[in-house]
Chains A and B, each alone.
Chain A
Amino acid sequence: MTYTIGAIVAILAAVLFDAFVTRQRLTLRGRFWLAYAIILFFQLIMNGFLTGLPIVSYDPAVHWGPRIVYAPIEDIGFGFGLVLSVLSLWSKTGTSRPKQ
């Protein structure tokens, strides 16, 4: 379950980073969720290859159990944390477009 806790921490840390460190609050903006839906679709395809072939093999003892396209469901949490924290920092450094 340690891997499961790691995924939850990754989600919470990214949400807090976005809200209080970069102060972009992307999680309140529709454009983030629209982009994330597209990113998630491609993530599932890529992760499906990585874990289905398999390039990466998991020790079943450390994750919760449910799998989506071969990958442990926790991978969606880690992916979300990575995508949100990177997009939030990207948004913070942008001056090209006025924020809505």
Chain B
Amino acid sequence: MGEWTYLVILLATFAAAAWLEAWPGVRVLRNPRRLGVALLPGIVFLLWDIVVAERGWWSFSDDLTLGPQMWGLPLEEIAFFLVVPTCAILGYEAVSATLDRLRERRS
């Protein structure tokens, strides 16, 4: 997959969680404003990522990323902070909706 590798991993991660949007009671992607607010803490982690990359504590493979960079990071690494928290919210909502439903059924 070469240069597409990181992007493909991101898309696969997103696909692994995105189907949960169809889970009964889950509304995450259809609520973009609420999702956008919830993703804000990711900015702090992104800043940390930028500092760490600049100091050389980690580095990204040129062979496995597409090339375009921003703030010293591959664009894929910046997209990581949108994709991964979104997947986490989808998972949390599916668990939460399911637990609520089980509780209602029991009462």
Chain A contact surface mostly: helix
Q: Which residues of A contact B41 (CB under 8 A)?
A: 14, 17, 82, 85-86, 89
Chain A proximity mask over B37-74: 1 for CB below 8 Å, otherwise 0: 11111101100100010001111110011000000000
Please measure, in the bound complex, the distance between the C-alpha atom of A87 and the C-alpha atom of B34, giving whole angstroms: 11
* Residues of A near any B CB (own CB < 8 A): 2-3, 6, 10, 14, 17, 30-32, 34-35, 38-39, 42-43, 46, 49-50, 53-59, 62, 78, 81-83, 85-87, 89-90, 93-94, 96-97, 100
Number of B interface residues at 8 Å Cβ cutoff, please give it.
43
Task: Give the distance to chain A from B13, nearest Cβ to Cβ, in Å.
Answer: 5
Q: Which residues of A contact B79 (CB under 8 A)?
A: none
Chain A proximity mask over B89-107: 1 for CB below 8 Å, otherwise 0: 1011011110110010000
Chain B contact surface mostly: helix
B37 touches A89 (CB 8 A): yes
* Residues of B near any A CB (own CB < 8 A): 5-6, 9, 13, 16-17, 25, 27, 34-35, 37-42, 44-45, 48, 52, 56-61, 64-65, 81, 84-85, 87-89, 91-92, 94-97, 99-100, 103
Closest 9 CB pairs of A and B: A85-B41, A90-B38, A86-B85, A35-B95, A35-B92, A62-B57, A83-B88, A55-B64, A89-B38
